[in-house]
Structure 1
């Protein structure tokens, strides 16, 4: 009976492996002759470190970047490289977010912007209404954290899987257990440091 049971289990595994569809699709990059040119106005710097693409509910693709040193996000339509709109976030006041350092656009009603100077992420929207703030002095295990940046040039933008945001910080190797990345629960605000740390400087 044991032999028949083993044969049945093996047959079932082979059947599942042969009939299940592939979960992943293969992609590759191909060089083209297409050039994208974006016309900048006189107050927008041509050097920027925080940028990403965004697709809205109507299927329009945008190239979005933060004006360097400003709280302005510029949305350019990728199809015609024209400026669609800007969002100028206030630094102070009831809807103030401080000086932003990068951004993550979940949708136009949920835009996450980390503060450049303090350990805090603001949740805001296209209308510049401050919805919530996520302080992160320490994680849920009371581990001290470094200041986060959502930049794309010298750091890495935030990544969201489900309702969990993965955030990458710059190194502060003078402290013990400086995590490379943390997770932010977008519903409960719980922040958890992941186990991989930056190395410490030699003493």
Structure 2
């Protein structure tokens, strides 16, 4: 059911306040909640999927998400939030695809699904019959692509692009890194190629597993990939045609000073919870979205978690906190910022027709998936 929030039409954002940092000389931004969309979930589904994707499907805009519990992709109409179709995939047998980790829906008769555990990509037709299978097991190095909402699978030319940030077997061995972040699957000859290494900053200390995550988005107009690293203030652009990676400093911004787990060059041993607490005690860069229609980058910064939440022992409180949305133009100039509270599941964020949509955490009705809708405009100086 779709309904308007009357109060949101009358007042400006309170919890989602605009930031006008005089040191950065940012432009004023209007960022207001104008709507809430509600998608009804079945008894096999809960919110916070690991893979969301907004797609154009036969003339309609559909919000799709992965339900790992039943190995299905749900397709909802963005217009009226009705369930259009549920695609449920077999795990075994002639048309088995394993446990799905991500997908790419080109059209009704061309659906690619990826299985992390099976280390394979399967192409299926409209009857969910497997047309072809592709292995992503590398003969050159330990590569296991890890895709999701923040690093989707894309098709560029005759290649599938997969993010392989998890390919570095030993994250604590930081003397050097192979070119293994991106995996290119040639759909014609089924060969794999790899490219892009971690920035040199990663050799300056021990950063642990979680700060090695790499996020990407696609610039559809130029077929370039936009990359963002948690500890690096630069935005990276990968040129597929020439296989070149260039970095861009964000102008008008104050870079974050991010501390490693250790400044030693020696291997250290630390459990993931302790590592998470160290990471969440400081600001770090998160994922990036590119709005092709506006030629604007939206980069997310995770703000530090409060001492109370850090010491609460509650993993959800430690994992999710307040955030900053940075709006960066095509010339890599920071033009404005917006602050969001900790009530949002940011990996769900997408843009459509002038609005930003973000799933909101809610526990009062587990049968409903809520998306708050924000309209925004940046005022000229």
Work out whether the TM-score is over 0.5: yes
Q: Is the 8 A contact 2:99 2:118 kept in 1?
A: no
Equivalent position SS for 2:37: coil
Provide the rounded CA distance (Å) in 2 between the counterparts of 1:79 and 1:195: 39
Distance 1:173 1:70, change over 3 A: same
The change in CA–CA distance for 1:80 and 1:112 in structure 2 (over 3 A counts) is same
Q: Is the 8 A contact 1:87 1:126 kept in 2?
A: no
Larger radius of gyration: 1
How does 1:48-197 map onto structure 2 within 5 Å? 48-57=49-58, 59-138=59-138, 142-152=139-149, 155-174=150-169, 177=178, 179-197=180-198
Unmatched 5+ residue regions in structure 2? Answer: 1-29, 171-176, 207-265, 268-381
TM-score computed with the length of structure 2 as normaliser: 0.41
Is the CA contact 2:72–2:89 (under 8 Å) kept in the aligned structure 1? yes
Unaligned runs of 5+ in 1: 1-28
Query: What is the deviation of 1:134?
Result: 0.6
Task: Say which SS state the counterpart of residue 122 (structure 2) adopts.
Answer: strand
More strand by share: 2
Larger RCO (CA under 8 A, 6+ residues apart): 2
Contact preservation (8 Å) 1:104, 1:150: no
Residue 89 of structure 2 contacts residue 96 of structure 2 at CA under 8 Å; is this kept in 1? yes
Instruction: Using structure 1 for the length normalisation, give the TM-score.
Output: 0.73
Q: CA shift at 1:112, angstroms?
A: 1.2
Q: Secondary structure at the match of 1:171?
A: helix
* 1:66-123 Cα deviation digits (max 9, x unpaired): 1133311100011101001101100111100111111111222121111131221111
Residue 30 of structure 1, CA deviation = 6.6
Tell me what 2:38 maps to: 37
How far did 1:41 drift?
Answer: 1.2
The RMSD of aligned alpha carbons is: 2.5
**Matched positions, count:** 170
Equivalent pair of 2:91/2:98 in contact (CA under 8 Å): yes
Distance in 2 (CA, whole Å) between partners of 1:120 and 1:36 is 35
Contact 2:71 2:100 in 1 (8 A): yes
CA contact (8 A) 2:76 2:83 kept: yes
